[in-house]
């Protein structure tokens, strides 16, 4: 490690640690700020709900009286989640098993939900992963690209277009501070070359994409009166962080946020419904406040338009010919 690298690391931790850890959560007094978590009469769908932030959000929604549907790929963990539901909420909770690293399984989940009775008042697009090394799916795609971005696009557009998200509903997209290292670009999406792949870089690109899609959906679906938000949870103690960033986890472990502290702004957004935006640079919600969309000058210049970004995802879903 060079002296320049060391200075860069120290500046990074010095800038973000006070805000992104639980130090920021408590210093902002969020544990004292009261708002209604009465979600009775609402139906929530939470992806990546078997652990971490998704699990915490789902349990809080159920405790608040919502009917909840948990989505994850591990049925054993989903069953354990159902067992951990507050007794009074167990008859309002169920789960659906889906591997959202696969287009086919995400589409199967979408179609299953479309065939069921009822609509959703809240969709939490929480599922996300960071892999340090390239992992390819059976469908020939980079696994984190599908999990972090393409699956959200498939599920959200499918539910909204079919009026499965109720008028007056809310969609919350879970981004990450990793987005601050990436401009709007399609260049680092679905990177299938191991010599080019960098887990942190592609993860940041996917998470910047959450802000792009939030703006796009607010513009496209304004007539449906659905509010779309993008938020980030700060640095949170989850198994995914421990597995993907073991050194970071060891250094920050004692001050990392709990999953509830990381996800609590999602509950606040559903309860308070602040104004939305059709601008991908409008900001990202963090600790009940709209924070800057960019922290560094090099990410402020987009490398593609929102329309081009969405077209990339739409093209990815088009049937591929045998010749291709």
Task: Please report the pLDDT score of residue 169 as a whole number.
Answer: 98
Contact 68, 61 (CB under 8 A): yes
Statement: residue 9 has pLDDT above 90 = no
Tell me: the pLDDT tens digits for 147-184? Answer: 999 999 999 999 999 999 999 999 999 999 999 999 99
Statement: residue 6 has pLDDT above 80 = no
Task: Please report the pLDDT score of residue 33 as a whole number.
Answer: 86
The per-residue b/e assignment along 18-43, b for 16 or more CB within 10 angstroms, e otherwise, is: ebbbbebbeeeebeeeeeebebeebb
CA distance 173 to 284: 10
State both tokens at 27: 């210093």
Q: For residue 38, give every residue at least 6 positions away whose Cβ sits within 8 Å of its Cβ, in sequence order, or none.
A: 64, 65
Statement: residue 11 has pLDDT above 90 = no
If pLDDT is split at 50, 70 and 90, which confidence band does 322 have? low
Percent of the chain past pLDDT 70, that is, above it, reads 97
Tell me: the pLDDT tens digits for 221-261? Answer: 999 999 999 999 999 999 999 998 898 889 899 999 999 99
* Alpha helix stretches (DSSP H) within the chain: 3-20, 22-27, 52-63, 75-83, 103-115, 143-145, 151-161, 199-220, 239-244, 246-252, 259-272, 306-316
Percent of the chain past pLDDT 90, that is, above it, reads 89
Tell me: the pLDDT tens digits for 277-287? Answer: 999 999 999 99
Task: Please report the pLDDT score of residue 251 as a whole number.
Answer: 85
Bridge partner residues of 286 (DSSP): 289
CB burial of residue 280 (10 Å; 0-12, 13-18, 19+): buried
CA distance 75 to 266: 25
pTM for the complete prediction?
0.95
Which class in CATH covers the domain with range 37-234+262-316? alpha beta
Sheet containing 93-97, strands listed edge to edge, beginning at the edge strand earlier in sequence: 93-97, 67-72, 43-47, 120-125, 165-174, 227-231, 284-286, 289-291
Task: Please report the pLDDT score of residue 1 as a whole number.
Answer: 61
Place of tokens 């935006």: 277
Contact 183, 208 (CB under 8 A): yes
Task: Please report the pLDDT score of residue 323 as a whole number.
Answer: 46
Cβ count near 118 (within 10 Å): 11
What's the mean pLDDT in 89-107? 97
Task: Please report the pLDDT score of residue 290 as a whole number.
Answer: 98
State both tokens at 156: 């959200």
Place of tokens 């939030």: 214
Contact 130, 147 (CB under 8 A): no
CA distance 276 to 227: 6
Task: Please report the pLDDT score of residue 15 as a whole number.
Answer: 86
Average pLDDT along the chain: 95
If pLDDT is split at 50, 70 and 90, which confidence band does 23 have? very high
What's the mean pLDDT in 255-270? 97
Cα 308–Cα 152–Cα 20 angle in degrees, nearest 5: 95
């Amino acid at each position: 490690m060079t002296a320049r690298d060391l200075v860069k690391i120290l500046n990074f931790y010095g800038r973000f640690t006070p805000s992104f850890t639980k130090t920021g959560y408590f210093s902002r007094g969020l544990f004292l700020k009261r708002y209604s978590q009465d979600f009775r009469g609402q139906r929530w769908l939470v992806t990546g709900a078997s652990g971490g932030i998704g699990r915490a959000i789902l349990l809080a929604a159920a405790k608040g009286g919502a009917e909840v549907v948990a989505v994850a790929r591990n049925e054993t963990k989903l069953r354990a989640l159902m067992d951990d539901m507050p007794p009074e909420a167990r008859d309002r909770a169920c789960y659906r098993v889906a591997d959202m690293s696969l287009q086919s399984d995400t589409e199967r989940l979408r179609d299953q939900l479309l065939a069921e009775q009822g609509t959703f008042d809240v969709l939490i697009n929480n599922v996300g992963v960071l892999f340090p090394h390239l992992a390819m799916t059976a469908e020939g795609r980079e696994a984190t690209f599908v999990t972090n971005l393409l699956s959200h696009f498939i599920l959200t557009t499918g539910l909204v277009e079919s009026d499965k998200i109720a008028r007056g509903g809310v969609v919350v997209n879970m981004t990450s501070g990793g987005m601050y290292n990436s401009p709007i670009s399609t260049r680092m999406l679905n990177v299938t070359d191991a010599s080019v792949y960098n887990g942190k870089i592609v993860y940041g690109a996917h998470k910047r994409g959450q802000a792009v899609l939030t703006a796009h959906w607010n513009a496209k679906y304004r007539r449906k009166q659905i509010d779309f938000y993008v938020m980030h949870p700060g640095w949170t103690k989850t198994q995914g962080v421990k597995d993907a960033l073991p050194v970071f986890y060891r250094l920050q472990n004692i001050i990392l946020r709990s999953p509830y502290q990381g996800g609590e702004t999602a509950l606040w957004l559903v309860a308070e419904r602040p104004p939305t935006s059709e601008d991908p640079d409008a900001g990202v919600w963090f600790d009940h406040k709209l924070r800057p969309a960019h922290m560094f000058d090099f990410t402020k210049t987009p490398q593609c338009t929102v329309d081009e970004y969405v077209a990339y995802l739409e093209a990815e879903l088009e049937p591929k010919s045998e010749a291709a």
